[in-house]
Amino acid sequence: MKAGLRRIAAVFISVCILGITGCSGNSNVTSEEWAYIHEPGVTVLELKSDGKAVYHNVDYSYTLEDGWLTLKDKAGNEQKLRFTPHDEDGMFIYEPAVYELREDFELNGVIGYWQQIDGNKTLSFEFTDKGTFREDYYSPGRYMVDEKAGTIKLVYNDMYEDTVIYYHIDGRIMTVEYPWPLVRTEKQS
């Protein structure tokens, strides 16, 4: 079953790449524009057939292979983002966020209160030793950790669909890759 899903995902990504890069020898630059599902009219990612990209209004060159979108800025700095199929015509982009374990918690795997340190300081995860969590102070549920895969499955009580996030802990710092659903940008008329 897993092999079949991988084949379907590979075909879907290949079709998307062909759609992005084009199949003909035409030298016209084409592009695909992607938006967050909650803001379908605002492009956050544009992938052009000439290998250029715009992500959050910053110019990059890019490659897309094996489920990874690699962005390189003009200074040569690279950023790798997981980029996987979602539904029929959507994608997930896994954007990293960095959290720090609050000082009054001992380091014990993911258990504890983690607060975002780059960006919005109101974002947080609190994981208990009872297998429950709370995200951003008010989204509760249960969680399961797969240390080998580096994932946490979040099973929300009622607000959101179950979500798998990737994580990595280095000391008291946890980097989380959270899947954001993307859809093709809706053009405004």
30-83 confidence digits (pLDDT tens): 889 999 999 999 999 999 999 999 999 999 999 999 999 999 999 999 999 999
C-alpha 177 chain-centroid distance:
6
Tens of pLDDT along 84-116? 988 888 999 999 999 999 999 999 999 999 999
Tokens of 45: 């990612």
Burial of 28 (0-12, 13-18, 19+ CB in 10 A): exposed
Strand-pairing partners, residue 82, are 68, 94
pLDDT band at 120 (very low <50, low <70, confident <90, very high): low
